[in-house]
A and B are shown apart, each in its own frame.
Chain A
Amino acid sequence: MAVVAQRPHALRDIPLHYCPGCTHGISHRLVAEVLDELGIEGETIGISPVGCSYNNYDYFNCDMVQAAHGRAPAVATGVKRSLPDSVVFTYQGDGDLAAIGTAEIVHAAARGENITVVFINNTIYGMTSGQMAPTTLISQVTTTSPYGRNAKDHGNPIRICEMLATLQGPAYIERVSLHDIKHIRQAKKALTKAFRLQREKRGFTLVEMLSTCPTNWGLDPVESMNRVKNEVIPYYPLGVFVDCEKEG
């Protein structure tokens, strides 16, 4: 009998703690599949963030280092500069990466730090129960923007890929979405390329994944996927922002 589906080796056999309909499960699996397929699990060190996925060190089978809120790119820098032949990735949410960790992500990107960043953008703080994130859309209701985000009081949502794409350091930056099968396949391609480029020591790579948070959005899983498609993607357009293989 042929095996048609199985758990990736890089993903440990432990039930995930995420809410029903949350896409962390998908993005975890994609990372694990890429580690398997590129055969790099044994040389990989992952950096866990602060946020809902703080304990993904329990889920991945590679060595893992848990970082302070927003500091994952600095921790990853310390690991990578110590072990230049290893594969190092950070897994960060939008509060972690785009608010408290803005300095760290910008400078890691500017240095062309040879790491891969998996950036989960669900337009909200999940773990602390639904506060406004730097990525929260205008008019989106959160526990700290209960009347809806407005630009005058709260500023505008930050497009991280576009911002980092202005730098010279990044080798590859792509924004993908996890709202349907077709887009999940594209996300896998983007992740595979990012890790491959890191192994080739091409520089900083980042894949932003538009993700869901049904619990804090107050939507069911299907409605959440539809929100990504109909409301989130129009503000955060999908696509490749930097690709070192297509330049010069």
Chain B
Amino acid sequence: MGEKLLMKGNEVIAEAALRAGCRHYFGYPITPQTEIAHYMARRMPQVGGVFMQAESEVAAINMVYGAAAAGKRVMTSSSSPGISLKQEGISYAVGARLPAVVVNIMRAGPGLGGIQPAQGDYFQAVKGGGHGDYKLITLAPSSVQELYEMTVEAFNLADKYRGVVMILGDGMLGQMMEVVQFRDEEPISEPAKPWAATGTGMKREHNTITSIHLDPSVLEHWNDERQNQYRVIEEMEQRFELYNTDGADVILVAYGSVARIARNVIKAAEREGIRLGLLRPITLWPFPTHAFEHVMPQAKAFLVLEMSAGQMLEDVRLTVEGRRPVFFHGRMGGMIPTVKDIMREVHEIIGTREE
């Protein structure tokens, strides 16, 4: 067993990246994720890695693009407004088929918004975000332990599929301290990168990293290949957790820090003799449709909980396809849903169903 430490979420992301073999980090300060940069600034020189504070988020993501093109495991992190700035570079990285990990510790928006936790960037993360048809594998940890494990996993997935993987957390997760149990050895799986631009050494044909294909038939073929790959990812990489769902009439659907609140709701409901379950998407894309098929036979209704106006809600409705009623409770602006408010919704739903 490795070390067991009490650590802050943001710092665990940085530590996990180092353990995953990431030696290149490019970022720009923004609350509430800056501790990732602080940690990298301190540790990278000690391990012979590169930490750079770029002149902007735009520059940072393009430095990521360069380091990924050179075949390195590389990461950047930011929070909502900064992630908007990185969208150009993310689209280019996907277009050039470069593996990279992008962390978004979400804050409330739109615009400069606030610095309190929110989940308003769900659409941006799972529906593309930048221009063009593409998807990012999007991981939604719900604890500091998961921030560690999923950051390591993110690098493996990025390399496996030669794409950008996003870790979507929020200010609550990034700022909270919890015990994290590290492993002695990380399950690192990094394939060879013969496509990387490392210099030909006059021993091979030159490598070209590019996202431009002016011939429409070539570009359509390229896109077809991505879409085919996305179908494979949708089949292979769905991750989710089902908690207390057996015999539950109403299934709460929540991810990230809101899923923690949902567990408290389940406990509060139990005290009242109401059985609720939790369906927690861990991959937001691919959306865990399989999980819904598990619970569909017994579920009478779904209640989606988010710190947004209802973004994942749309994917739940697309998955449920009208087979069950889907309810929603959300807060915005950095406000956090309370057990009391959610229980009120639960009572209403159960009341409605009894009528």
**A interface residues with partner B (beta carbon < 8 Å):** 41-45, 47-48, 54-55, 57-58, 60-68, 71, 74-83, 86, 103-104, 106-107
Contacting pair B202 A42 (CB below 8 A): yes
Contacting pair B199 A45 (CB below 8 A): yes
Contacting pair B66 A62 (CB below 8 A): no
Can you list 27 A-B contacts (CB < 8 A)? Answer: A57-B208, A62-B200, A64-B207, A65-B65, A65-B66, A65-B96, A65-B208, A65-B210, A66-B208, A66-B212, A67-B62, A67-B65, A68-B89, A68-B92, A74-B59, A76-B66, A77-B52, A77-B63, A78-B26, A78-B62, A78-B64, A78-B70, A81-B67, A82-B24, A86-B199, A103-B55, A107-B54
Chain A residues with CB under 8 A of B64: 78
Given contacts A75-B63, A81-B63, contact A43 B210 (CB under 8 A): no
User: Any chain A CB within 8 A of the CB of B227?
Assistant: no
Contacting pair B62 A63 (CB below 8 A): no
**B interface residues with partner A (beta carbon < 8 Å):** 24, 26, 50, 52, 54-56, 58-60, 62-72, 74, 88-89, 92, 96, 197-203, 206-212
Contacting pair A82 B89 (CB below 8 A): no
Q: In the complex, what residue of chain B is closest to A85 when comparing beta carbons?
A: B199
Q: Which of B55, B68, B211 has the most CB of A within 10 A?
A: B55
Contacting pair B69 A79 (CB below 8 A): yes
Contacting pair A74 B63 (CB below 8 A): yes
Chain B residues with CB under 8 A of A54: 212
Contacting pair A75 B69 (CB below 8 A): yes
Contacting pair A79 B70 (CB below 8 A): yes
CA distance A76 to B62 in the complex (A): 9
Contacting pair A78 B200 (CB below 8 A): no
CA distance A81 to B68 in the complex (A): 11
Contacting pair B62 A68 (CB below 8 A): yes
CA distance A43 to B201 in the complex (A): 6
Q: In the complex, what residue of chain B is closest to A60 when comparing beta carbons?
A: B206
Chain B residues with CB under 8 A of A86: 198-199
Contacting pair B198 A45 (CB below 8 A): yes
Chain B residues with CB under 8 A of A103: 55-56, 58-59
CA distance A67 to B93 in the complex (A): 10
CA distance A82 to B193 in the complex (A): 14
Report the minimal beta-carbon distance from B23 to chain A, rounded to whole angstroms. 9
Chain B residues with CB under 8 A of A107: 54-55, 59
Contacting pair B50 A82 (CB below 8 A): yes
Contacting pair A81 B59 (CB below 8 A): no
Q: Which of A44, A60, A71 contacts B62 (CB 8 A)?
A: A71
Q: In the complex, what residue of chain B is closest to A68 when comparing beta carbons?
A: B92
Interface contacts beyond A47-B66, A61-B200, A62-B199: sample of 15 additional A-B pairs, CB < 8 Å, sorted by A: A45-B70, A61-B206, A63-B206, A64-B207, A65-B69, A65-B197, A66-B211, A67-B92, A74-B63, A77-B59, A77-B63, A78-B68, A81-B24, A81-B52, A107-B59
Given contacts A54-B212, A104-B59, A107-B55, contact A64 B197 (CB under 8 A): yes
Contacting pair A81 B50 (CB below 8 A): yes
